[in-house]
Structure 1
Amino acid sequence: MDGLSRKALMKDVLRSVSRSFYLSIKSLPAPMRDAVAVAYLLARATDSVADTARAEVEGRVGYLERMKVVIATGVADECARLDEDLRCEVSVSQEHEGEKVLLSRFGDCMKLLAALPGDQVALVRRVLATILEGQMWDLVYFRTHAKVEDAEVLRRYAYQVAGCVGEFWTDLGYLVLGERFSAAPRDLMLKLAREYGEGLQLLNIIRDREEDAARGRKYLVGSSAPWVQLSRAGLEAGEVYARELHGFRLRFATVLPSLIGQRTHDALKHPAAEGKVKISRWQVRGCMVQAVCFALGHEGGVSEPPVWVQGR
Structure 2
Amino acid sequence: MSVLINEKIDNLLKTTSRSFYPTLKYLPKKVRGQIGLLYLLARVADTIADSKSGETDELLRLLRGYNDVAQGKSDNLPDFSSLAEIQENTHEAELLRNVQDVVDGLLVYSEEDRQRMLECLEIIVGGQILDLERFGPANEGGNLSALNDNSELDDYTFRVAGCVGVLWTKMSLAHLITLPAEKEGEFFEKGIRFGKALQMINILRDIPEDLRFGRCYIPEQELRKHNMKPEDLYDSKNIEKFRPLYDEYLDLTNEHLDAAIEYIKMLPETQFRLKASCMLPVLIGQRTVTLLRDGNILDSSDRIKVTRDEIKSYAKKLLRALIIPGGVKRLLEKNKNS
TM bucket (normalised to shorter chain) is 0.7 to 0.9
Indicate conservation of the 8 Å contact 2:28/2:274, yes or no: yes
Indicate conservation of the 8 Å contact 2:123/2:160, yes or no: yes
Identity %: 28
Distance 2:197 2:322 in 1: 21
Indicate conservation of the 8 Å contact 1:52/1:94, yes or no: yes
Task: State the match for 1:52 in structure 2.
Answer: 51
Change (3 A) 1:224 1:67: same
Distance 1:6 1:264 in 2: 31
Indicate conservation of the 8 Å contact 1:134/1:161, yes or no: yes
Instruction: Kindly provide the CA deviation profile for residues 43-78 of structure 1, in whole angstroms up to 9, marking residues without a partner as x.
Output: 001100111111222111111111121111164x32
Task: Report matched runs for 1:286-297 at 5 Å.
Answer: 286-297=313-324
Indicate conservation of the 8 Å contact 2:144/2:211, yes or no: no
Indicate conservation of the 8 Å contact 2:40/2:102, yes or no: yes
For residue 150 of structure 1, report the CA deviation from its aligned partner: 1.4
Task: Report matched runs for 1:67-82 at 5 Å.
Answer: 67-73=66-72, 75=74, 77-78=75-76, 81-82=77-78
Distance 2:3 2:273 in 1: 23
Of 242, 248, 258, which residue of structure 1 is paired with 2:264? 242
2:267 paired with 1:265 = no
The two structures, once aligned, show a CA RMSD in angstroms of 2.2
Distance 1:211 1:121 in 2: 34
Task: Report matched runs for 1:296-311 at 5 Å.
Answer: 296-297=323-324
Of 236, 253, 277, which residue of structure 2 is paired with 1:231? 253
2:31 paired with 1:38 = no
Q: Which runs of 5+ in 2 are unaligned?
A: 137-142, 223-244, 327-338
Instruction: Kindly provide the CA deviation profile for residues 77-109 of structure 1, in whole angstroms up to 9, marking residues without a partner as x.
Output: 32xx42xx01x2222221112111111111111
Question: Partner amino acid for 1:125?
Answer: L
Task: State the match for 2:234 in structure 1.
Answer: none
Task: State the match for 2:152 in structure 1.
Answer: 153
Task: State the match for 2:85 in structure 1.
Answer: 92
Q: Report the 3-state secondary structure (helix = DSSP H, G, I; strand = E; otherwise coil) of the residue aligned with 2:52.
A: coil
TM-score w.r.t. length of structure 1: 0.86
Change (3 A) 1:272 1:159: closer
Indicate conservation of the 8 Å contact 1:71/1:125, yes or no: yes
Q: Which structure features the higher share of helix residues?
A: 1
Task: State the match for 1:197 in structure 2.
Answer: 195
Distance 2:218 2:296 in 1: 22
Question: Partner amino acid for 1:50?
Answer: A
For residue 272 of structure 1, report the CA deviation from its aligned partner: 6.9
Distance 2:296 2:45 in 1: 34
Task: State the match for 2:186 in structure 1.
Answer: 188
Indicate conservation of the 8 Å contact 1:203/1:265, yes or no: yes
For residue 136 of structure 1, report the CA deviation from its aligned partner: 0.7
